[in-house]
Amino acid sequence: MNVRKIGSVALSLLIASSLIAGCGGNGGNTTSNNSTASGKNTDSNKKSDEVIHLKFWGGVPEEWGPVEAIENWNKENPDIQVEYVRFVNDDAGNVKLDTALMTGQDVDLYGTYNFARFQSRAQSGLSVDLSEFDDYNIDEKMGPNAADWKVDGKYYAMPTKRDLHFVWLNKDALDEVGLSVPYDWTWSDMQEYAKKLSGVKEWGIVQDLATWDFVLDSPIVEEGLVAADGTSNLDNQDTRKILETTYNMMYEDKSRPMYGEQMASKMRVEDEFLKGNAGMFYAGEWIFRFANNLKDYPRDFKIAIAPIPKVVADQPNHYVFGGLGDAIAINPKSKNVEAAWKFLKWYADGGMLPLAKGGRLPASSAVSTEESMKLLLDGVEDLYDMDSINKVMFGNDFKTFQNKLPQQIIDTRRNEFQLYFTNDQTLDQMMANVVKAHNEYLKQNK
Amino acid sequence: MKWGKRQSLIGYLFVLPNILGILVFFFIPTLFTIGISFTDWKYTANTYNFVGFSNYGRLFKDSMFYESLGNTFIFLLSVPVSIILAFMVALLLNKQVYLKNWIRAMYFLPYITSGVAVAFVWMLLFDAKNGPINQFLQTIGISNPPGWFSTTNTAMFAYDIIWIWLLLGYNMIIYLAALQEVPQELLEAAKIDGAKPHQTVIRIIFPLVSPTTFFLLLTGFVITVKAFGIIEAVTHGGPGTSSQVLSLYVYKMAFRYYEMGYASTISIILFIIIMLITFIQWVGQKKWVHY
C-alpha cells in the first residue's frame, strides 16, 4: 500500500514537473525571442542612422541565387542589412508564411509565386499598396504584362521575373527524324511530332505535371473563366481539343507516358528529357537550372525551344501561360517599409541578376536582355539552338496570361481530368463535373 | 471522512498541471473547432460571419465528403487484417524459432521508420511499369498486373498494404507481451486432453489475449482514421479523388484552401465517427472480450 502510494505520488510529481518544465521552456523561448527582436528594433530606432534589419521570405532555394544577390546588397548598403529566409513553396510552407504575416512576426518582404494565392493575400491586407510610392512606375519598367498581377486595379506586389511556358526540343532527335524546329504550330502538329519522335526515343513527349494547372485555361483567357450570366465558362471546344489530343497521344500513339503512371511514380520528367529519353518536353523557363547543370545532368545533344502550340491554326484567342512571375510584396506590419521598398526597387532593377543562372530572368527594362542571357547560358551556349531561344523568349510574338482560377477549382479540375486520362470517365462526363463544381463554387463565393 | 477529502484534494493538486495541459492544448482547441464550424472564417481573412448550420448543410450535400468517407472505410480494413497477421506472427515467434530476436526486430523496424520515407520506397516497389512487384507478378504469369497507385480502383488498396505492413510490428510486439501472460498450465492441460494445435489457439489462446485484441482494434482504428501523411506524400489523394480519405480532405480544406469553417465542420464529423466506432466496439466487446 505504502509503496504504491509513494509510487503514484512520484509519478504525478514527474508528470507535473515535466509539464511545468515544458511550459517554462516554451515561455522562456518566446520571451527571449521577443526581447531580442524588440531589442534590435529599439536599437535601430534610438540611433536612427544605425543598421536596419530586414527579413525577406522567398521560396527560391538559397543556392539558386537569392543569397548571392542579398550578399551583394548587404555589401553596398551597410545601413540596411537583409536576411533571406527560405520557405518551401508548398501548402505547409505558405501556411507558415501566412501565419507569420498575420501575427506580425519578422517578415518585411516576401515572394508569392501564383496569382490566386497572391490575390487572397492582397485582399486580406497582407501586402502594402505599392501605389503609395510615386518614385517607380511598375507599368513602365515591367511592361504591359505586369498588369496581370494587379488586384482590384492596384499593385500590391512587384512582379520581378519573366515567366514563360514553352516546349523543349531535342534538336538532335528532330534532325534524326527529319523534322524542323517548329514555330507556328498546332496541337495536332505536336501530336505528329511526338509520334515520329517516339520512333527513335522512348517518349515522343513528356510533360511537367505542374503545367497542367494552366494548359487548359489558355483558350478562355479572352472570354473569361466566368460567363456573362455568372456561370462557369470552363467547358470550351478548344480546351476539349487539348484534352483529346493528349488522350490520343497516350492511348493511340503511345508517344507520351500514361498520366496515372507518371503521377504515381513521380516520374522526373526533366531527367527523362535531359538524359535523352524524350524528344520533346512541355515545361518552361525553370528547366534551365537543370539543363545548364551539366555536372548532374550531362548531355551532348543540342536543345531548341518552340512556343506552346495553338489549338487550331489561325487561332485568334491564342494565349501562352507566361508574362511575369515572382511577385515580391511588402508586409504592412513591417517597421521598415521605406527600407524594404528601397531594397525591392534595387532587387527588381538588376539586383536579382544572380538568380538568372537558374532561369529567373529579370523583367525590368533596367536590365538588358543580353546581360541576363549571358548569365543564363554562360558556358553552355554551344548546347543550345540560339535562334529558337531568342525568337521564342524575346520575340514578344504571342500574347501571355497568368492563371486566375482559384486553387480549389484548379484542384477539382485536375481530379476530373485525371479520371478522364485514366479511362474512368469520358470527356463529356469530365466537363460536366468540372462545370458543376465550378458553378457550385461560384454560388458559394458570391 | 475529512482525512479522505484532504487526501483526494492533494491528489487533484498533483494532477492539476496535467489537467491544465489537457485543457489548454486539447479541450479548448476542440471547443474552438466546434465554434469555428459555425462560421465562414477563412484563414487569412480578418473578419468572419456566423453562418449557423450552413456548413453542415453543405457537408451533407458534398459528394466529395461521401467519397472520402468511403475511402476512409477502405483504409480501415487494414486494421483487422494487420491484427490477424500480427497475431499469427506473434504465435510463431513465441515458439523456439531460429534467429528469433532478429526477426522480431525486423518486424518492428517499419513502425519506427518515418512514414513518408516508407511511402516513397513503396512507391518505387508499386511502380506499375518497372516496379519489382509487378515484374514479379509478370514472371509468374499474371499478364495484366494491377496499376496500384496509378489506377482509381487499386490506389486505396495499395495504401492498405503499406498500412498493414506499418502497423504489423507494433501489433506483434503487443501480442508477444500478451502471450507471455497465457498460463502454461492451461496449455498443458489442453494438450493432455488431446486438443489439436489449432483448437488450442482458437479456444484458449485467442480468448485469453482478447483484451489485447480489443485494445489494438480500438487504437488502430483511431490512428488510421487520422492518418493521411503517406497518401499526401505519394498520390495527394489521386488519381482523381480515389485515394482521398476524410483526414486528407480536412487538411486540404484547411491548409490548402484556407476554408477553416468548413474544415472544422468536417473534422467535427470525423470526431463523431471515431466516437461511434469506439462506442460500437465498446458495446460489442462484452460478447467476445474476456478479462
CA-CA distance, B232 to A175, in Å (whole number)?
Answer: 42
Q: How far is CA B287 from the centre of its chain?
A: 23
CA-CA distance, A62 to A81, in Å (whole number)?
Answer: 17
Interface membership of A12 toward B (CB under 8 Å): yes
Predicted confidence (pLDDT) per residue in A154-201, tens digit? 999 999 999 999 999 999 999 999 999 999 999 999 999 999 999 999
Domain spanning B60-287: CATH superfamily: MetI-like (1.10.3720.10)
Asked if residue A240 is part of any domain, the answer here is yes
Judge whether A260 and A266 are in contact, CB under 8 Å: no
Domain match, A193 and A152 both: no
Judge whether A161 and A325 are in contact, CB under 8 Å: yes
Domain match, A311 and A333 both: no
Asked if residue A81 is part of any domain, the answer here is yes
Asked if residue A284 is part of any domain, the answer here is yes
> Which ranges in B126-259 belong to alpha helices (H)?
132-139, 155-180, 184-192, 197-199, 206-208, 210-226, 229-234, 246-255
**pTM for the structure as a whole:** 0.85
Domain match, A333 and A428 both: no
Asked if residue A35 is part of any domain, the answer here is yes
Hey, what's the cell of A234?
A: 470552363
Domain match, A151 and A100 both: yes
ipTM surpassing 0.85, yes or no?
no
Judge whether A173 and A228 are in contact, CB under 8 Å: no
Q: What is the pLDDT of residue B1?
A: 58
The domain ranges of chain B are 60-287
Domain match, A213 and A143 both: no
CA-CA distance, B274 to B279, in Å (whole number)?
Answer: 8
Domain match, A19 and A132 both: yes
Predicted confidence (pLDDT) per residue in A59-92, tens digit? 999 988 999 999 999 999 999 999 999 999 998 9
What residues of A are in contact with residue B18 (Cβ under 8 Å)? Answer: 12, 15-16, 19
Query: 61-100 in A: which are within 8 Å (CB) of B?
Result: 91-92, 95, 98
Mean pLDDT of A100-116: 90
Domain of A20: which CATH number?
3.40.190.10
Hey, what's the cell of B161?
A: 498494404
Number of domains in chain A: 2
Asked if residue A49 is part of any domain, the answer here is yes
**How many Cα atoms within 13 Å fall on the side-chain side of residue B240?**
23
Mean pLDDT of B63-71: 94
For residue A182, the 8-state DSSP code is: P
Domain match, A159 and A170 both: no
Domain match, A149 and A185 both: no
What residue has cell string 543540342? A302
Domain match, A100 and A27 both: yes
What residues of A are in contact with residue B237 (Cβ under 8 Å)? Answer: 415
What residues of B are in contact with residue A126 (Cβ under 8 Å)? Answer: 44
Asked if the model's pLDDT at residue A2 lies above 80, the reply is: no
Q: How far is the alpha carbon of B235 from chain A, nearest alpha carbon, in Å?
A: 6
Lowest mean pLDDT among B50-64, B103-117, B258-272: B103-117
Domain match, A294 and A153 both: no
Asked if residue A389 is part of any domain, the answer here is no
Asked if residue A385 is part of any domain, the answer here is no
Predicted confidence (pLDDT) per residue in A319-372, tens digit? 999 999 999 999 999 999 999 999 999 999 999 999 998 889 999 999 988 888
Predicted confidence (pLDDT) per residue in B246-260, tens digit? 999 999 999 999 999
For the CA atoms of B66, B69, B73, B75, the dihedral, rounded to the nearest 10 degrees, stands at 120
Q: How far is the alpha carbon of B112 from chain A, nearest alpha carbon, in Å?
A: 24
Predicted confidence (pLDDT) per residue in A24-60, tens digit? 333 333 333 333 333 334 444 444 568 999 999 999 9
Mean pLDDT of A424-441: 95
Domain match, A343 and A361 both: yes
Find the domain containing A151 and state its range. 3-163+325-378
Domain match, A310 and A435 both: yes
For residue A119, the 8-state DSSP code is: H
Interface membership of A416 toward B (CB under 8 Å): yes
Of B18, B151, B255, the CB nearest to A422: B151
What are the φ/ψ torsions at residue A281 (nearest 5 degrees)? -150, 110
